[in-house]
Amino acid sequence: MGRMAIRVQELSSESERVGAGGSVPLPAVLRMFWAGSLVAFAMMLLVSYIEYRMGFKQPHYNPLGGDRYQDLMEFWPAYKPLHSAAFFGANGYSHVAYPPFGAAIYALVYGTGHPVVFYLGTAAVWLAAGVWGVRRELIAQGIGRVTATLFPLTVALVGFPIAGLLQRGNIELFLWVIAATGTWAFLRGRENGAAVLWGMAAAIKMYPVLLLALLLPRRRWRALAVGAGSMVATTLLSAAWLGPTMTAALRGALRNTFGYQAVRASQWTLHELMANHTAFDLAKFGALLTGVPLAKLMLPYYACGALMMGLAFFGKLWKMPVANQLLAVTAFMVMLPPVSYFYSLVHLYAPWLVLVFVAIHAQKAGVDAQGLKLTMLLFVGLFASFMLFSFPRVYLYGGLVQGGMLAMLFLCALQYPLGVDEA
C-alpha cells in the first residue's frame, strides 16, 4: 500500500506523448511546496522589518545581518605560516578546525588572492548549473517552459540555507558541490565515481562518509572500497602538502578539529539553540536535566546514533526505494554532528530534487504518493529561516524546531515508500 511501481517503459511512452501533445501541470504537492516557500520568505522579510522598527536587536530580526563572509575570511591570517608547524598553532589566530583536505581548500581559495570573488563565482556557476539542469529535466518531463524555469530559480533564490551559506561564506559550499555531484553520479548508475566524490567530501568534513552506506543495498563492495580509499588518499595527500610533515599535519588537524567540536559541544547559548539544528542539542538538554556532564556526553551520543541508524538502515531502509534511502541518510547526516548550522541544510536539496521527479512520475501514473505531502511540508520548514521558529521569550528556538523537523523527515523516509522503480 502506498508503494509506487511504475515501469520505465510506461514512463518513457508517457513522456513522448506529453512532449508531442502539450505540457504537464506541476503536481499539486509541488505547487504547495512552491507557495509555502514563497510565503515563508515573505514572512521572514515582514517579521524582520516589524522587529527592526520595534527596536529588536540582532541576530533575531535579521538572520542575514551579521558580518559578510565571516567564515570565509576568519582564517586568512592563520595561513601565513602554511607548511610549517606554526600553522596548526596559529600564533594567536583562530585554529583552522578542519581535516587536512578542508584546510587545503581554504589554502586554494586564499591562494587566488581574491577569496570572496572566487567563492561567489564558484557559487554562481554551481547554482546556475543546478537551475539549468533542473529546468532541462522538467521540460523533458513535459512541464511548461515558464514553470520549468521559475520553479527551480525561485526555490534557489528564496531558500534560506543557500542565502545563509553565501552570507557566511562557509566551506560547506565546496562540500555541497562535491557531495551532490556524487549523488548525481550515483543516481546515474556510476557508483565508482560517486564513491570517489563522497570520499573526497568526507575528507573535508567527516559526516558525508555516511553517504557511502547507499552502496550497501546494491552490494557495490568495490565502489565502497573505492570510496574509503578516496577519503584516505585525499586526507593523506592533503596532509603531506600542508606539511611540515604528513604526521605533523594529521596530528595538528585532528587536534584542532576535535578541539573545536568539544568547545562547541559544551556550549549552551542562544545562538546554538536558534541556528544549530543538531540532535545533540536535544541530548544536551536531557543531560542538563539529569546532571550528566556535557564533556562525557559525546561518546554515548555517537554510540546511540550509530545504533539507531544501523537498526533503521538494515532493518527497514535496506529494501526500500532509493529515494527513501537517500532521504533518510541525508537527514541523519545533517542532524548527527554536534555542530550543524543552518547552512548544512543545503545537502537536503539532493533528496528533495529526487522527490520532485517522484511526484511528477506519480502524477503521470495516477498514483497517490503516500507521505509525499507531509515530506514536502517538512522541506518548507527546513528551507525557511530559523528565525521564523525562534521566539526566546516563549522558549521557542529555531534550531530545536528544525532539529525536530529533521527527525520527522527521517521517520517519513522509514514509513512511506517514496520511490518510483528506477525512474
Which DSSP helix (H) or strand (E) runs through 351?
helix 349-365
423 pLDDT band, cuts 50/70/90, is very low
Instruction: Tell me how far apart the alpha carbons of residues 174 and 105 are, in angstroms, rounded to a whole number.
Output: 8
Beta bridge partners of 341: 276
Confidence of residue 370 (pLDDT cuts 50, 70, 90): confident
Given a cut of 70, is residue 10 above it in pLDDT?
no
CA-to-CA distance for 300 and 335, rounded, in angstroms?
Answer: 16
CA separation for the pair 343, 168 (Å, rounded): 9
Task: Report pLDDT for 328.
Answer: 97
Query: Residue 188, exposed/middle/buried by CB under 10 A (0-12, 13-18, 19+)?
Result: exposed
pLDDT of 7 above 50: no
CB contact at 8 A, 4 and 422: no
Q: Does pLDDT of 73 surpass 80?
A: yes
Band (301; pLDDT cuts 50, 70, 90) = confident
- What the block records as the C-alpha cell of 53 is 522598527
pLDDT surpasses 80 at 353 = yes
130-146: pLDDT as tens digits: 999 999 999 999 999 99
Mean pLDDT confidence for 209-220: 95
Residue 269 has which C-alpha cell? 547559548
pLDDT tier for residue 52 given thresholds of 50, 70 and 90: confident
Stronger pLDDT, 295 or 153, i.e. the higher one? 153
Is the pLDDT confidence value at 15 over 50? no
What phi and psi values does residue 137 have, to the nearest 5 degrees? -70, -35
In the numeric block, the cell 560547506 is attached to: 172
pLDDT digits (tens, 9 = 90+) for 160-185: 999 999 999 999 999 999 999 999 99
CA–CA gap between residue 369 and residue 376 (Å, rounded): 11
Q: Give the pLDDT band of residue 65 (cuts 50, 70, 90).
A: low
Residue 98 per-residue DSSP state: S
What residue segments make up the domains of the chain, in order of their start? 8-415
- Residues forming a β-bridge with 420: 4
Of 81-85, 288-292, 351-355, which one has max mean pLDDT?
A: 351-355
